[in-house]
Chain A
Amino acid sequence: MASDVFGGRVWRFDHDISTDLLSPGQYAVAPVEERKLHVLESVNPRFASDVTPGDILVAGRNFGCGSSRETAPENLKALGVACVAAESLARIFMRNAVAVGLPVIVCRGVHESFADGQQAEIDLSTGRVANLDTGVELRGDPLPEEMRDILSAGGILAKLRSQRGA
Chain B
Amino acid sequence: MGMTLAEKILARASGRDEVRAGEFVVARIDRAMLHDVFAAGVFDLLLDVGVDGVFDPDRTIVVIDHFVPAPTAAAAALHTRIREHVARLGLPWFYDAGDGICHQIMPEQGHVRPRELIVGTDSHSTTYGALGAGGTGIGTSDMVYALATGKIWMRVPETIRYEFSGQLEPAVTWKDVLLFIAGRFGADSAQYKSMEFAGPGAATADMSSRLTMSNMAVEVGAKFGLFEADEVTSAYLSRRGGEGCEPFGADPDAVYETVHEINLSDLAPQVALPSEIDKVTSVTDAGHVAINQAFIGSCTNGRIEDLRAAAAVLQGRKVAPNVRLLVAPASREVMQEAMAEGVIGTLVEAGATMLAAGCGPCFGGHGGLLGPGERCIGAHNRNFIGRMGSAEAEIMLGSPATVAASAVAGRVADPRDLEVLGGE
Chain B nearest CB from A165 CB (Å) reads 9
Are A155 and B141 in contact (CB-based, < 8 A)? yes
Residue of B nearest to A94 (CB): B155
Chain A nearest CB from B130 CB (Å) reads 21
**Cβ-neighbour of A95 out of B45, B142, B191, B221 (below 8 A):** B142
Main secondary structure of the interface of B (DSSP, over half): mixed
Are A156 and B141 in contact (CB-based, < 8 A)? yes
Are B145 and A156 in contact (CB-based, < 8 A)? yes
For the complex of A and B, list the 9 residue pairs with the smallest distance between their C-beta atoms, beginning with the closest: A144-B24, A99-B141, A91-B192, A156-B145, A166-B50, A96-B139, A146-B153, A70-B139, A99-B142
Are A68 and B139 in contact (CB-based, < 8 A)? yes
B267 at the interface (CB under 8 A from A): no
Are B49 and A99 in contact (CB-based, < 8 A)? no
Residue of B nearest to A74 (CB): B141
Would you mind naming 16 contact pairs between A and B with Cβ atoms under 8 Å apart?
A62-B188, A68-B139, A91-B223, A92-B137, A94-B155, A95-B138, A95-B142, A99-B145, A147-B24, A155-B141, A156-B144, A157-B145, A160-B49, A160-B145, A164-B49, A164-B148
A157-B192 contact, Cβ under 8 Å, with A70-B141, A146-B24? no
Are B139 and A99 in contact (CB-based, < 8 A)? yes
**Cβ-neighbour of B141 out of A91, A96, A144 (below 8 A):** A96
Chain A nearest CB from B313 CB (Å) reads 35
Q: Which residues of A contact B139 (CB under 8 A)?
A: 68, 70, 92, 95-96, 99
Chain B interface residues toward A at CB < 8 A = 23-24, 26, 45, 49-51, 123, 137-142, 144-145, 148-149, 153, 155, 188, 191-192, 221, 223
Q: How many A-B residue pairs have CB under 8 A?
A: 65
Chain B nearest CB from A154 CB (Å) reads 12
Are B149 and A160 in contact (CB-based, < 8 A)? yes
Residue of B nearest to A141 (CB): B22
Are A90 and B141 in contact (CB-based, < 8 A)? no
Interface size on A, residues (CB 8 A): 26
In Å, the complex CA distance between A38 and B280 comes to: 35
In Å, the complex CA distance between A1 and B223 comes to: 32
Residue of B nearest to A142 (CB): B24
Residue of A nearest to B147 (CB): A160
Given contacts A68-B139, A95-B139, A161-B50, 16 further A-B contacts (CB under 8 A): A65-B188, A68-B123, A92-B137, A92-B139, A94-B155, A96-B139, A96-B141, A99-B139, A99-B145, A144-B23, A156-B141, A156-B142, A157-B45, A157-B141, A164-B51, A164-B148
A159 at the interface (CB under 8 A from B): yes
Q: Which residues of B contact A91 (CB under 8 A)?
A: 191-192, 221, 223
A130 at the interface (CB under 8 A from B): no
Chain B nearest CB from A113 CB (Å) reads 23
Chain A nearest CB from B98 CB (Å) reads 27
Q: Which residues of B contact A146 (CB under 8 A)?
A: 24, 26, 153
In Å, the complex CA distance between A155 and B138 comes to: 15
In Å, the complex CA distance between A160 and B45 comes to: 11
In Å, the complex CA distance between A92 and B141 comes to: 12
A160-B51 contact, Cβ under 8 Å, with A99-B141, A100-B141? yes
Are B137 and A68 in contact (CB-based, < 8 A)? yes
Q: Which residues of B contact A40 (CB under 8 A)?
A: none
Are A164 and B50 in contact (CB-based, < 8 A)? yes
Q: Which residues of A contact B149 (CB under 8 A)?
A: 160, 163
Are A150 and B153 in contact (CB-based, < 8 A)? yes
Q: Which residues of A contact B148 (CB under 8 A)?
A: 160, 164
Chain B nearest CB from A75 CB (Å) reads 14
In Å, the complex CA distance between A150 and B142 comes to: 11
Q: Which residues of B contact A160 (CB under 8 A)?
A: 49, 51, 144-145, 148-149
In Å, the complex CA distance between A65 and B187 comes to: 12
Q: Which residues of A contact B141 (CB under 8 A)?
A: 70, 96, 99-100, 155-157
Chain A nearest CB from B215 CB (Å) reads 16
Chain A nearest CB from B170 CB (Å) reads 37
Residue of B nearest to A155 (CB): B141
Q: Which residues of B contact A155 (CB under 8 A)?
A: 141
Instruction: Give chain A interface residues in 116-144, CB to chain B under 8 Å.
Output: 144
**Cβ-neighbour of B191 out of A68, A90, A144 (below 8 A):** A90
Q: Which residues of A contact B191 (CB under 8 A)?
A: 62, 90-91
Are A161 and B123 in contact (CB-based, < 8 A)? no
